[in-house]
Amino acid sequence: MKKIEKITPQSEDFAKWYTDVIKNGDLMAYGATKGSIIFKPLSFGIWDNIRLHLDKEFKKVGVQNVYLPLLIPESLLTKEKEHLEGFNPELATVTEVGGKKLAEKYFIRPTSETLFGDFFKNEINSYNDLPLIYNQWVNVLRWEKTTNPFLRTREFLWQEGHTMHSCPKEAQKLTTKMLNIYKKFVSDYLAIPVIDGQKTEHEKFSGADFTFTIEAMMKDGKALQAGTSHYLGQNFTIPFDISFKNKENKLENAYGTSWGVSTRLLGALIMTHGDDRGIIIPPKIAPIQIDIIEMLASKEPKVHELALNIKSVLEKANFNVQIDNSDKGAGFKAANSEIHGT
């Protein structure tokens, strides 16, 4: 039987509490590559629900999902110098295949502005083709020096939206609209209050004219960036020659945005709601909302029959339910359910 280890109190050591909670809560395991993690069913279930609910909100404003390649040719990434300089320390590079050196370096995507820039170039001819509002749910890789599960890992999951517009006003409006979608979603579904605002010039996204953010306050008194939305202006459309014929039949460079949230939201959820007895998952986003614990499962078949009937009634009422009919002790089952945040 797996033993539930003692959780360090938040008041004693918040960082140690965080590690104890995610370990006992079966949220993750460390990957074979340093700085990477394995998402266990519970944490991936939370992320899957975030993806499903947020994707519905995106579609209400016309977002379409796409998927672009993992590798970025060096010739593309170097087209926007500020962008390259911002990510250069974190870039992972592919230089050979099958023992043979490649003619050009390829970078594993830290983000996809340059790939979208190259793609958009061939998709747009006229103002009638705009706006293009695309999003992809993918993994990215940034070779972080210091890592912490969910909060900052070298490989993480996220959604990244990329759009093209015929005028700056429309693009800027979309930038704030996406930020407001994030703010409402994080508040309504994750039950995390956030403060929205604009990043400083020093903190803004590399290659953006300006960056908006939602910041969540954690129980240790520190703010956590929970989502960002960037107005890119023509910073990518000029070097990538993304242009269109405007209503005056003149060539004009398009105006871009990008925006995203990541699996960092899981860390925010844990640090906002968790207590000294484990994680607490808001019902709207929980993979399992109700645990039914059988006390005499191995001795009395009628107990299991009753549990199944209760489960059926609850599922018809749209609850996500599971039954624990193992031979483990009642106290263990109750503690296990609580530490998993059910």
- Encode pLDDT of 3-25 as tens digits: 566 899 999 999 999 999 999 99
What mean pLDDT comes out for the span 113-120? 94
- The position carrying tokens 């209400």 is 60
Least confident residue range of 73-82, 94-103, 192-201: 73-82
Q: What is the DSSP string of 40-92?
A: PHHHHHHHHHHHHHHHHHHHHTT-EE----SEEEHHHHTTSHHHHHHHGGG--
Supply the mean pLDDT for the chain. Answer: 93
pLDDT number for residue 4:
60
- Encode pLDDT of 208-232 as tens digits: 999 999 999 999 999 999 999 999 9
Residue 167 has pLDDT above 60, yes or no: yes
pLDDT number for residue 1:
46
Render the burial of 300-313: b for 16+ CB within 10 Å, e for the rest: eeeebeebeeebee
Chain-centroid distance of CA 303 in Å reads 41
pTM for this structure?
0.92
